[in-house]
A and B are shown apart, each in its own frame.
Chain A
Amino acid sequence: MSDLPEIPPDDDEDFGTVKKFCYVNRKAPYGTVYALESLEMVLIAAAFDQDVSVVFMDDGVYQIKKDQETDGIGMKNFSKTYRALEGYDVEKLYVSKESMEERNLTTDDFLVDVEVLDRDALSALMAEQEVVITS
């Protein structure tokens, strides 16, 4: 995964204010470019040592479906990058319970460990963020 942004060499570099960033992913991967662009924004925020949370809701839950195999459609399989988020200290990953269930998915279908939140819990999580970017 040579195309990932470089992790800053050490934490001695000071990027100033740390804000609570929340990226809310609502779109399926591959059909549009939103999922990939959002993932890149997450990596950039993480590279600047921000406090990052990532939410998967609506069709966004499909982004972290296991076993994606894109050879047949000639597109880059970026799903493995979600597994690399841990290395950037992005460990707060949340999935909407309702969105998951509507699509007959369970946490076993996901390629990363997530915390499942119902609608009220998700609302509360988003309400406490300083920057929320939904895509």
Chain B
Amino acid sequence: MSKLHTVNKSPFERNSFDSCLKHAEDGSAVLFIEDGVYAAVAGGDVAARISEAAGRLKVYVLGPDLAARGMTEDRICDGVSVVDYGGFVDLAEAHDAVHSWL
């Protein structure tokens, strides 16, 4: 079953990000939303874990949540794609199930 995983908590504050990456199967998709988007910002302590994940997972981040937090797309880690709400719907539709890591 293909899964879309969503993470909505900051990787600096909760371990949902790490648990998600540890359990997501190769080839599945991970979408960062709400405070989860900080995981996708380049150069911080979390960036290495994102780059590693981008090698085996499809990694996305929700654009409106990035913009709200003052993060521009040029600060996003390589291998991470920015999607809008329509893109979120497309991802949900393209996978068999959505797994929310609250």
A28 and B69 within 8 A (CB): yes
Interface of B: prevailing SS = loop
Decide if B70 touches A66 in the complex (CB within 8 Å).
yes
A27 CA / B38 CA spacing, docked (Å): 12
Give residues in B with beta carbon < 8 Å to A. Answer: 8-10, 12-13, 34-35, 38, 41-45, 47, 63-65, 67-72
User: Top 10 A-B pairs ranked by shortest CB distance?
Assistant: A72-B64, A104-B43, A31-B35, A65-B70, A104-B44, A68-B70, A67-B70, A70-B68, A69-B67, A73-B68
Complex CA–CA separation, A32 to B63 (angstroms): 19
Interface residues of A (CB under 8 A from B): 27-32, 58-59, 62, 65-73, 75, 77, 79, 102-104, 109
A28-B35, A32-B35, A59-B10 given; 19 more Cβ-contact pairs under 8 Å = A28-B38, A28-B69, A30-B34, A30-B35, A31-B10, A31-B34, A58-B13, A65-B69, A65-B71, A68-B70, A72-B63, A77-B68, A102-B12, A103-B44, A103-B45, A104-B41, A104-B42, A104-B43, A104-B47
**Given A58-B13, A102-B45, does the pair A67, B72 have CB atoms closer than 8 Å?**
yes
Please, which residues of chain B bring their CB within 8 A of the CB of A103?
12, 38, 41, 44-45
Give chain B nearest CB distance to A31 CB in angstroms.
3
B13 to A30, Cβ gap below 8 A? no
Can you report 24 A-B residue pairs in the complex whose CB atoms are below 8 A from each other?
Answer: A28-B38, A30-B35, A30-B65, A30-B68, A31-B9, A31-B10, A58-B12, A59-B12, A59-B38, A67-B72, A68-B68, A68-B70, A69-B67, A69-B68, A70-B68, A71-B67, A72-B65, A73-B64, A73-B68, A75-B68, A102-B12, A102-B45, A103-B12, A109-B70
